[in-house]
């Protein structure tokens, strides 16, 4: 079936209002200042919080 009427730009915009992409928020690691996602372990030094630090494998 074909649509009865053309949907306007405004109606199309309202429908697609949640489809936009957002850049991930990035914070610097307090230990090495490498950019990292919040609440995640640092990929460079393994820092999580002051009490926990994870071992990191070195790249070849």
Q: What is the pLDDT of residues 32-53, one digit of tens each?
A: 999 999 999 888 888 888 777 7
Residue with tokens 């071992």: 55
Residues in a beta bridge with 27: 36
Dist. CA 16–CA 10, nearest whole Å: 10
Pairing of strands 35-36, 27-28: antiparallel
Confidence of residue 60 (pLDDT cuts 50, 70, 90): low
pLDDT at 21: 92
Q: How far apart are the two ends of the chain, measured CA to CA in Å?
A: 58
- Provide mean pLDDT across the span 6-21: 91
- Residue 11: what pLDDT? 92
Q: What is the distance between the alpha carbons of residues 33 and 31, in angstroms, rounded to a whole number?
A: 6
Share of the chain above pLDDT 90, in %: 48
pLDDT at 15 over 70: yes
């Amino acid at each position: 079936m074909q649509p009865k009427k053309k949907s306007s730009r405004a109606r199309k915009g309202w429908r697609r209002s949640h489809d936009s992409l957002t850049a991930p928020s990035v914070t610097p690691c307090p230990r090495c200042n490498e950019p990292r996602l919040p609440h995640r372990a640092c990929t460079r030094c393994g820092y999580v919080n002051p009490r926990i630090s994870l071992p990191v494998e070195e790249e070849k």
